[in-house]
Amino acid sequence: MSTDEAGTAAAGTRHTHEVDVVVVGAGTSGCYAAATIAEAGYDVTIVERKTAEEAGHIACGDALKGADKFPEVIPKSKIEPALTNTVVDHGQFEIPAEDAVLDIPVPGELAVIDRKLYGELLIEGAEEAGVEFHYDTVVQDVLQDEDGRATGVTGIRKGDPVRYDADLVIDGAGALSILQDEADLSDATFDTNVRFSQFSSAYREIIEVEEPVDYHDALVFKPTKRSAGYLWYFPRTETEINAGLGFQMNEEPMKLVDDLRDDMRTRPEFENAEVKDKLGAAVPTRRPYDSATAPGFMSVGDAAGHVNPTTGGGIAGAAYAGTYAGDAAIDALEQGDVSEDVLWSYNERVMEHFGGRYAALDVYNIFTTAYDLDDLMALLASLPADKLSEQLYDGKAEIGLKLKVQTAIKSFGHWGTLYDFYQTKQLADRLTEHYEEYPSGPDAFEAWRDQRDEIMEDIYETTGAEPKY
């Protein structure tokens, strides 16, 4: 379909495109959503604010957890050339205050990628599925009918006003998406409990070093000296390092570039290193949206908080979220019904796959805001590495009495923090169980959310942390 119609607007000629689905953003979630729908025979256009040359160039840590499991619509074989380091299999968490390095095994397949090449290959894969791309397009508003159903978007494309009329709008515009500010979602279940303090500000550089690093098979983490955040050093290759850091936006702002430089000066591998690229971004370090649907509208990936809040990893989750949204869109188009009742399967599949686990992991982010950094580092150094790995990546680890005693001995002087941690873990496990009962339709959503909020009140009381939501 995708026909041009001449129209008149105050700023000049407005071009109108009629499509089945318009997707905003050419990131991971947007490409997978669009490819899924296009492969089913529908007309899909992705609108992207960047140029064709810059599309896919996104600030990212470049670490890819779950590199072996990608939806088939754009299979792993398509993006495999972007996996530049596939020998990484563990994390190294440096704890200077304890003079310790915690070696953390990472379950599943892990890789470090060339994010720009990965983005370009995704776009190529979506094009092969039949998706049309409109670059240089800045979306300004969401169109809605008198009942509040999203019916398209408007914006500026290459300097000219443009309009996209669509049966469905999919928001893949990233963290703090403008679409959610412009659309009126107040009558839907869509999560509006979103504010900037639930996000992190991050910055990264791609750096070429002179000699191979000795941690080429590991992801290196280190706490920052200020605020609740961490530094990372992820090897794309033995001599090309993704170095970056971030902090929670409700904390005292960091001088990201200066703080990264200060730490790099202490690391001999970066002497005479060359900076090849630099970018910054906002990252959602919050639980996934309770609901990412409204009539005629879905949000995916970073735009719906689909990121592991403890690590910032979101590529694999975004791929599956996009696919699930695409499947729900196909059902809605086939039925001629884009209501929340029909789109709801998207929410269910996200929560079942990873959303509940990420919500439980967010509890540990909340925990860290209430304690002194030295106490937290002492606690981290005392925890069994395998159990810490299970908790960080699977959201649930069994810790028996013997391990509790061993941890208590190692964390002497920080027992209050240790006790609170175990209490918090029990609440996180309780939260996981509640997300397993995520409702099968929007009618039961409010009651489910009220019960979840009661668990959150217990978490705030136990940790002493300020409410995050």
Among 108, 311, 150, 141, smallest CA distance to 229 is for 311
Q: How far apart, in whole angstroms, are the C-alpha atoms of residue 205 and residue 139? A: 28
Residues of the chain whose pLDDT is less than 50? 1-11, 397, 399-415
What does the pLDDT read at residue 135? 98
What is the distance between the alpha carbons of residues 430 and 421, in angstroms, rounded to a whole number? Answer: 14
pLDDT digits (tens, 9 = 90+) for 379-401: 666 665 555 555 555 555 454 43
Q: Which helix (H) or strand (E) holds 44?
A: strand 44-47
The phi-psi region of residue 284 (left if phi > 0; otherwise alpha if psi is between -120 and 50; otherwise beta) is beta
CA–chain centroid gap for 187, Å, is 26
Stated pTM of the model: 0.90
Residue 205's H or E segment, with its range, is: strand 199-208
- Give pLDDT, residue 229: 79
pLDDT tens track for 104-117: 888 778 999 999 99
Phi, psi (degrees; rounded to nearest 5) at 363: -60, -35
Cross-strand partners of 170:
23, 298
Give backbone dihedrals phi and psi of 217, rounded to 5 degrees, phi first: -105, 20
CA distances from 402 to 377, 405, 465 (A): 22, 5, 29
Quick one: pLDDT at residue 7? 40
| Domains of the chain in sequence order | 4-76+116-191+288-356 (3.50.50.60), 85-107+197-284 (3.30.9.10), 359-463 (no CATH)
14 membership: H or E segment, kind and range: strand 12-24
| Encoded tokens for 33 | 């959503």
- Measured CA distances, 419 to 22, 387, 398, 412 (Å): 50, 16, 16, 12
d(CA 27, CA 31): 6
Supply the pLDDT for residue 399. Answer: 43
CA 166 to chain CA centroid, nearest Å: 26
C-alpha 144 chain-centroid distance:
27
Strands 199-208 and 240-248, bridge-based pairing = antiparallel
Angstrom distance (rounded) from CA 4 to CA 10: 18
What is the pLDDT at residue 108?
78
